Amino acid sequence: MYRRLKGTKDILPDEIYQWQYIERTIRDHLERNNYQEIRTPVFEVTELFARGIGSDTDVVSKEMYTFTDKGDTSLTLRPELTAPVMRAYIQNNLGQINPVTKLYYIGTLFRQERPQKGRLRQFNQFGFEIIGSEHPEADAEVIQTVYAIYHNLGINDLKVRLNSIGSRSSRQHYLKILQMALEKHLGNFCASCQQRFEKNILRLFDCKVDSCQALLDHYAPSILDHLSNEDVQHFEEVQALLNAAYVPFEIDKKLVRGLDYYTRTTFEITSSLLGSQDAVCGGGRYDHLAEDLDGSPIPAVGVASGMERLLMILNEINAIPQKETKLIYTAVLGENARQVAFNLVSLLRSRGYQVDMDFMRRSLKAQMRDAGKKQAKWVIIIGTDEIQKDKIVLKNMASGEQKEVQLSLAADQIETIVK
């Protein structure tokens, strides 16, 4: 038997409604905020991600599905969407049309990690980006908007964690100070922290070992104390705007993100209803990504949100409305009724009704049971008796009432009865 690959999922019919529901809600909300959808290819040249995300990041160095095509070009299944969107923005000169471009996407991503709760190898994200504005309004809108989308879906107890990791120049400066401050205590950190110290020192703040966190609290200078004046002002304005929009947040000076392109604002929204992978979304500002991809410099902010994680929360709090069906089920009895029924079914369908009929030539009892199971609102019964009288029976499944309708007028009559 063939099985689905590790870390992938089949989304079966009884679950698909949930996806359609959140996708619809997300699209509606983002369209209202005047974002436009963009769809980019699922694979790109590997270098796009190496340069965009950073070749030292875990995502690029060990989690990508990379292969070579017949032309010997190295290609990669996209592990995130910000770099592809920026690539599309640059390639199609979207900046020429408008100084500010607001884009959103809903798409599938691939990362070769060990699967666990809230983490798959093929997964889906929605996200959106504001490209062209360096101002704090853009940062605040991004955060306010995801927050509002979650709220709209019925999620309330979320934690918004906010930080600024400064512009590139002030961060370079800070990293040196951090390195000097921690060097002499390095021996007291755990093994993986010692590796992080060499590779990407900011990641030390992610460590879950208590003793490491205590050392950081004692000896690590805060990045917030080493921002430039412009960085500070930007950060403060973002906070003021969030307060103005009543978006609750907390400053987390240890919040660092795993992708190299971030500058200044970084944020993450977490939920206690998820497993140890508790971030529903993460994002921030990336003012140098365009340049890193050989485009002209353009500031941008954005966010990416995990769809599977979002669904996990919604199921946890039971916030997905029931799918409502308006099904009309057609029960057929006897040889000579079949064509009449088939004709009526296709007529009703062409008028926009959701109609189904029995394919098993079963007893009426079985067909009624089937109709009940499928949650049909109405059942049309067409049998030999009806054909003789030139009538059909229309039964309301909720009340149990049924009435006879002239066959030749059935389509019109049903319209007024079913409504």
Partner RNA sequence: GUGGGUGUAGCUCAGGUGGUAGAGCAACAGGUUGUGGCCCUGUCGGUCGCGGGUUCAAGUCCCGUCACUCACCCCA
Give contact residues for RNA (rule: CB under 7 A). 3-7, 57-59, 63, 80, 111, 113-120, 123, 125, 192, 196, 203, 206-209, 257-259, 268, 275-282, 304-306, 308-309, 333, 360, 362-366, 368-373, 379, 381, 383-386, 393, 395, 397-398, 400, 402
Mind giving me the DSSP string for 318-354?
Answer: T-SPPPP---EEEEE-SGGGHHHHHHHHHHHHHTT--
Least CB distance from residue 134 to RNA, whole Å? 21
Residue closer to RNA, measured from CB, 70 or 419: 419
Q: Where are the alpha helices (DSSP H) in 117-222?
A: 136-152, 168-183, 191-199, 210-219
Q: Which two tokens stand for residue 384?
A: 């030999």
DSSP class of residue 260 equals T
What residues are paired with 284 via a beta bridge? 266, 302
Distance CA 408, CA 296 (A): 69
Residue closer to RNA, measured from CB, 218 or 365: 365
Distance CA 37, CA 299 (A): 20
Locate tokens 């009426």: which residue? 364
178 Cβ contact list (under 8 Å, min separation 6): 201, 202, 220, 221, 223
Distance CA 353, CA 419 (A): 10
Least CB distance from residue 379 to RNA, whole Å? 7
Residue closer to RNA, measured from CB, 38 or 120: 120
Least CB distance from residue 390 to RNA, whole Å? 12
Least CB distance from residue 126 to RNA, whole Å? 10
Least CB distance from residue 118 to RNA, whole Å? 6
Residue closer to RNA, measured from CB, 281 or 290: 281
Least CB distance from residue 117 to RNA, whole Å? 3
Q: 291 φ, ψ to 5°?
A: -65, -45
Distance CA 170, CA 278 (A): 30
Least CB distance from residue 159 to RNA, whole Å? 12
Helix (H, G, I), strand (E, B) or coil at 392: strand
Least CB distance from residue 290 to RNA, whole Å? 18
Residue closer to RNA, measured from CB, 194 or 228: 194
216 Cβ contact list (under 8 Å, min separation 6): 204, 205, 207, 254
Residue closer to RNA, measured from CB, 118 or 136: 118
Least CB distance from residue 41 to RNA, whole Å? 19
Least CB distance from residue 147 to RNA, whole Å? 13
Largest separation between any pair of C-alpha atoms in the chain: 97
Residue closer to RNA, measured from CB, 43 or 95: 43
Distance CA 121, CA 125 (A): 12
Residue closer to RNA, measured from CB, 73 or 323: 323
E-only strand ranges, 198-335: 250-251, 263-270, 279-285, 300-306, 328-332
Q: CA distances (Å), 352 to each of 13, 187, 325, 395, 406, in order?
A: 22, 72, 13, 19, 20
Residue closer to RNA, measured from CB, 139 or 370: 370
Residue closer to RNA, measured from CB, 111 or 264: 111
